[in-house]
Structure 1
Amino acid sequence: MADDATLTDVLERNRADERQRALRALLLNPLMDARHPAFVLVRRHQTELRDWLAANTGWQLQVESEFARLHKRPADFGDPTRPATTGSGAQRAPFHRRRYALLCLALANLERGDNQVTLGRLGEALIQEAADPALEAAGLDFGLEGRDERRDLVATVRLLLELGVLSRVAGNEDDFVRRGRDGDVLYDIHRRVLAALLVTLRGPSLVVLDGDPGDFEARLRAIVEPFVPDNHEARNRALRQDLTARLLDDPVVYWDDLDDAARQYLAGQRGAITRRIQEATGLVAEVRAEGIAMVDPQQSLTDRQIPSEGTEGHATLLIAAYLAGLGEVPVTLEHLAERIAEWRESYRGYWRRNALEPGAERPLARQAVEQLRGLRLIRIDDQGRVSARPALARFAVDEPRTPEGAQAELVPGEADA
Structure 2
Amino acid sequence: MEQQEYAIGATRVAAGRTDGRKGGVGATDAAVAVREAARPGGAADGAPDAVPPTRADAGQALDPELSPDPGLLRLAHWFAAATPGTADDLCAASFGLYPARHFGAPADPAAGAPADPDVSWWHGPTAHASASRRTREAQDSRGEGALRRARLDEAALPVVRSGAKPGRPGRHRRPERAQPGVRLAQDRSVPEGVAQNAAELPGAERRIAARLLLAHPLVTASGPHADGFPLIRRHRDWLTERFDTLLGYRLVVGPWHARLCKAGLGPGGARRLENPATGTPFTPAAYGQLALALALLVDAPEQLPYRRLLDAMRAAAPELAAAPADTTAALAALSSWQVLGDLPEDPADGAFVLTVDRELARAVPAGPPALADGPADLIRRACEAEPATAVRRLLAETPAVLAADLPEDRRTWLHEHRLSGPAALAEFLGLETELRAEGVALLDPAEELTDLALPGTGTLARAALLLVERLVEEVRPLPGEAVEGDVPVADALIDGVLGDIADDHALPARYLADRTALRRDALDLLHRLGLITPTPRTTWRLRPPAARYAPAPDLRPAPGNGRHSRPHA
* Counterpart pick for 1:86 among 262, 275, 278: 275
After TM superposition, the structure 1 stretch with the greater mean CA deviation from structure 2, 363-372 or 217-226, is 217-226
The answer to whether structure 1 residue 217 and structure 2 residue 376 are counterparts is: yes
- 1:340 match: 498
Distance 1:370 1:159 in 2: 22
CA contact (8 A) 2:384 2:390 kept: no
Contact 1:204–1:223 (CA under 8 A) maintained in structure 2 = no
Q: Could you tell me how far 1:280 is from its partner in structure 2?
A: 1.2
With structure 1 as the length reference, what TM-score do the two structures score?
0.77
1:73 to 263, 282, 285: 263
For the pair 1:204 / 2:204, whether they are aligned, the reply is no
Q: Which residue of 2 aligns with 1:175?
A: 346
Amino acid at match of 2:326: D
In the alignment, what sits opposite 2:114?
none
Contact 2:266/2:383 (CA < 8 Å) preserved in 1? no
Match of residue 387, structure 2, among 227, 235, 239: 239
Contact residue 166 and residue 189 of structure 1 kept, 8 A? yes
1:97 to 272, 279, 284: 284
Tell me, yes or no, if structure 1 residue 163 matches structure 2 residue 163. Answer: no
CA distance in 2, matches of 1:321, 1:131: 50
Contact 2:471 2:494 in 1 (8 A): no
1:264 aligns with 2:264: no
Moved more, 117-126 or 301-310: 117-126
- SS of alignment partner, residue 52 of structure 1: helix
Counting helix residues as a fraction of each chain, which structure ranks higher? 1
Mapped partners of 2:404, 2:555: distance in 1: 35
> Contact conserved, 2:490 with 2:540, CA < 8 A, in 1?
yes
Q: Alignment partner of 2:462: what SS? A: helix
Q: TM-score, normalised by structure 2?
A: 0.58
Determine the C-alpha separation between the residues in 1 that align with 2:451 and 2:529. 10
The offset of 1:123, in angstroms, is 2.0
Aligned to 1:193: 360
Evaluate the alpha carbon distance shift between residue 291 and residue 392 of structure 1 in structure 2; reply closer, same or farther with a 3 A threshold: same
1:252 & 1:303 partners in 2: Cα distance? 15
Stretches of 4+ moved more than 6 A in 1? Answer: 399-402
Identity of aligned residues (%): 27
Q: Which residue of 1 aligns with 2:533?
A: 379
Report the Cα distance in structure 1 between the residues aligned to 2:260 and 2:382, rounded to whole angstroms.
Answer: 17
Distance 1:387 1:117, change over 3 A: same
Deviations 1:311-338 (A, max 9, x none): 1111111221133233412334x86456
Q: State the distance in 1 between where 2:220 and 2:427 align.
A: 26
Asked if structure 2 preserves the Cα contact closer than 8 Å seen for 1:81 and 1:374, the reply is no
In the TM superposition, what is the alpha-carbon distance from 1:288 to its structure 2 partner? 0.6
SS of match in other structure, 1:56: helix
The corresponding residue for 1:110 is: 297
| CA offsets 1:368-416 (integer angstroms, 9 cap, x no match) | 21211111111111122222011111123468999x99x9xxxxxxxxx
2:417 aligns to what SS in structure 1?
A: helix
**After superposition, where does 1:301-340 map in structure 2 within 5 Å?**
301-325=449-473, 326-327=475-476, 328-332=487-491, 336=494, 339-340=497-498
Match of 1:136 in 2: none
User: Which ranges of structure 2 fall in alignment gaps of 5 or more residues?
Assistant: 1-195, 477-486, 562-569
Structure scoring higher RCO (CA < 8 A, sep ≥ 6) equals 2
- The number of residue pairs the alignment matches comes to 352
Q: Distance in 1 between matches of 2:449 and 2:334?
A: 23
Output one character per residue of 1:268-299: Cα deviation in whole Å (capped at 9) or x when no partner.
Answer: 22222222112211111100111100011211
Determine the C-alpha separation between the residues in 1 that align with 2:518 and 2:353.
37
